[in-house]
């Protein structure tokens, strides 16, 4: 367990946790009290206050969620990011969406909101299984931009998903992505043209230097001949 939450729902990394404080691990409708163990034998770590056994996949899934809640961004590739002002998780996220879409019946892992409280996107965390066809059908019904991040299982993989899939994009975003793709292609052409231009300029400079060197050599030879 890398992250737990304080009483206000803030994501607290184990390195920042204080021994003696009580933290919380919240999953679906369950809440576990978490404390910090930091003795002489073992490295600093979280553990349940009452010795509850929590499934390792559930813990890793929550670590991924709480990291997203803390960093408030996802990387879409090619230098594009989605940056949120606030991130809501699970039940709180579902209630927020339901207030805007009354028939909403899903429980998203993460909901990204902008500075005005408008929905940017949903981010789903895939640790053991991806969204199935029924889920994707619902996602398309509600028309909220949704990304699914797939994670490996190494200790620090919660920071870097190994894959990202867009489960729903609006037509407006599809057009925007197409436009971005065209811009990237034009930028690539410009970069290649600049490279070719630089190569040509270097060749011209080399030729100019050869001409100058030859003129200097001819001058020196002529001068030497006149002297003798």
Least Cα distance to 76 among 179, 180, 170, 187 occurs for 180
Contact 169, 145 (CB under 8 A): yes
Maximum average pLDDT range among 35-44, 142-151, 168-177, 181-190: 142-151
- Across the range 166-182, mean pLDDT stands at 67
> Rounded mean pLDDT of the chain?
88
Task: For residue 163, give Cα distances in angstroms to 5, 10, 36, 53, 123.
Answer: 26, 26, 32, 29, 13
Q: For position 33, what pLDDT does the model report?
A: 94
| 37 or 176, higher pLDDT | 37
Burial of 222 from C-beta contacts in 10 A (0-12 / 13-18 / 19+)? exposed
- Percent of the chain at pLDDT above 90? 57
Q: For position 173, what pLDDT does the model report?
A: 58
Task: For residue 188, give Cα distances in angstroms to 111, 184, 194, 196.
Answer: 34, 6, 10, 12
pLDDT tens profile 3-40: 999 999 899 999 999 999 999 998 878 899 999 998 77
Tokens of 114: 């902008």
List, in order, residues 6 or more apart from 57 with CB less than 8 Å away: 127, 128
Burial 43-71 (b: 16+ CB within 10 A, else e): eeebeeeeeeebeeebbbbbbbbbbbbee
Q: What is the pTM of this model?
A: 0.69
The full set of domain ranges for the chain reads: 1-54, 65-169, 173-228
Q: Report the alpha-carbon distance of residue 31 to residue 169 in Å, rounded.
A: 34
- Across the range 119-141, mean pLDDT stands at 92
Least Cα distance to 86 among 105, 114, 44 occurs for 114
Q: Report the alpha-carbon distance of residue 37 to residue 61 in Å, rounded.
A: 22
- DSSP at 184: H
* Residue 36, helix vs strand vs coil: strand
Q: For position 171, what pLDDT does the model report?
A: 59
Q: How confident is the model at residue 228 (pLDDT cuts 50, 70, 90)?
A: low
pLDDT tens profile 52-99: 889 999 999 999 999 999 999 998 887 788 899 999 999 999 999 999
């Amino acid at each position: 367990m890398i992250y737990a939450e304080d009483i206000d729902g803030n994501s607290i990394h184990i390195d920042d946790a204080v021994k003696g404080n009580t933290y919380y691990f919240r999953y679906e409708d369950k809440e576990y009290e978490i404390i910090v163990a930091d003795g002489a034998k073992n490295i600093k770590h979280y553990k349940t206050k009452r010795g509850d056994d929590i499934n390792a996949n559930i813990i890793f899934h929550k670590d991924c969620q709480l990291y997203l809640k803390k960093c408030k961004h996802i990387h879409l590739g090619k230098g594009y990011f989605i940056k949120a002002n606030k991130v809501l998780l699970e039940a709180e996220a579902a209630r927020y969406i339901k207030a805007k879409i009354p028939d909403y019946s899903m429980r998203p892992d993460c909901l990204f909101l902008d500075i005005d409280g408008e929905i940017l996107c949903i981010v789903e965390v895939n640790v053991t299984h991806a969204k199935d066809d029924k889920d994707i059908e619902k996602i398309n019904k509600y028309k909220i931009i949704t990304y699914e991040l797939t994670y490996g299982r190494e200790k620090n993989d919660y920071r870097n998903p190994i894959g990202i899939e867009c489960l729903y994009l609006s037509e407006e975003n599809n057009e925007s992505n197409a436009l971005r793709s065209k811009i990237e292609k034009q930028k690539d052409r410009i970069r290649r043209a600049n490279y070719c231009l630089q190569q040509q300029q270097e060749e011209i400079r080399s030729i100019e230097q050869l001409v100058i060197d030859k003129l200097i050599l001819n001058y020196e030879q002529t001068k030497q001949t006149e002297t003798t």
